[in-house]
Amino acid sequence: MADYHFVYKDVDGASTQWDDIQRKLGNLPPKPPAFKPPPFTPATDPDSQPKDTAWLDSKNPDELEELEDDPDLDDDRFLQEYRKKRLAEMQEAAKVLRFGSVIPISGSDFVREVSQAPSDVWVVVILYKEGIPECGLLMQSIEELAIKYPATKFVKIISTDCIPNYPDRNLPTLLVYNNGAVKGNYVGLHSFGRRCTPEGVALVLCQTDPVLNDGHNRDEQSRKAVIEGVRKRFIEKVVADHEEDDDDYSSD
């Protein structure tokens, strides 16, 4: 006859009343703690993360443009607020006039383009004539500054169109206007140092503060930053030219 044995196994971690009594008497070791699985933590889904300003700041301009056309984000309140804020920033930026080049004008344009320019716009006028090398040299510097400081208005006009019989020996001449009045007058290329460079011309123009405006801000702190930047670049240019002269002398 076969010997049948039945072994009962309770739930893992469970114990009988008898075991509990034996543990109280010290006849059995303490009952091990029941197994408890760690709490479930779902994997991070980037699309489900809250979309706040920090999330927007992590996006590049192209990604931001795509977000504006994303229909899935139309109902996100934060994005609506962002759009309002961005529109306000664009409207504020539009208030800052940007030129970015040397504008050619004629005598009949002078009053409108220079004398009647808005009071918060500084206008730099270069009087020149074609074929005069000194005019071409200064024009190169002015064109570079016009790009670097797009909120300052740079215009050029043939000297005799502006002032009849203006002598060529005074060319080139720079006139600085603000609020319809002349604020600076620089006659001849020698006004800008031994070497006419954009850095040197900028430093001279900084004597008429705040003629140079990069368009970022209009407060006093930003103006000082522009002037300090001009001075720094001028010093760096002088040092570089000095080192270049030393190298040329050594090579001879």
CATH of domain 102-238: 3.40.30.10
Whether residue 223 is predicted with pLDDT greater than 90 in this model: the reply is no
Higher-pLDDT residue of 20 and 190 is: 190
Contacts with 56 (C-beta within 8 Å, 6 or more apart), sequence order: 64, 67, 82
Cβ-contact 105, 155 below 8 angstroms: yes
Instruction: State the average pLDDT for the chain.
Output: 76
Q: Is the confidence at residue 6, as pLDDT, over 90?
A: no
Q: Tokens at residue 51, please?
A: 């979309």
CB contact at 8 A, 238 and 203: no
Work out whether strand 153-158 and strand 181-187 pair parallel, antiparallel, or are unpaired: unpaired
Structural domain boundaries in the chain: 102-238
Judged against a pLDDT cut of 80, whether residue 250 lies above it is answered with no
pLDDT of 120 higher than 90 = no
Question: Among 1-5, 56-60, 116-120, whose mean pLDDT is lowest?
Answer: 1-5
List the one residue out of 115, 137, 118 whose CA is nearest residue 128: 137
CB 121 within 8 A of CB 66: no
Band (pLDDT 50/70/90 cuts) for residue 206 is confident
Quote the pTM value.
0.57
More confident residue, 100 or 41: 100
Q: Is 68 a residue whose pLDDT tops 80?
A: no
Query: Pairing relation of β-strands 153-158 and 102-104?
Result: parallel
**pLDDT at 177 exceeding the cut of 90:** yes
What share of the chain in percent tops pLDDT 70? Answer: 57
CA–CA distance, 101 with 110 (Å, rounded to integer)? 17
Of these ranges, 43-52, 78-87, 170-179, 236-245, the one predicted with the greatest mean pLDDT is 170-179
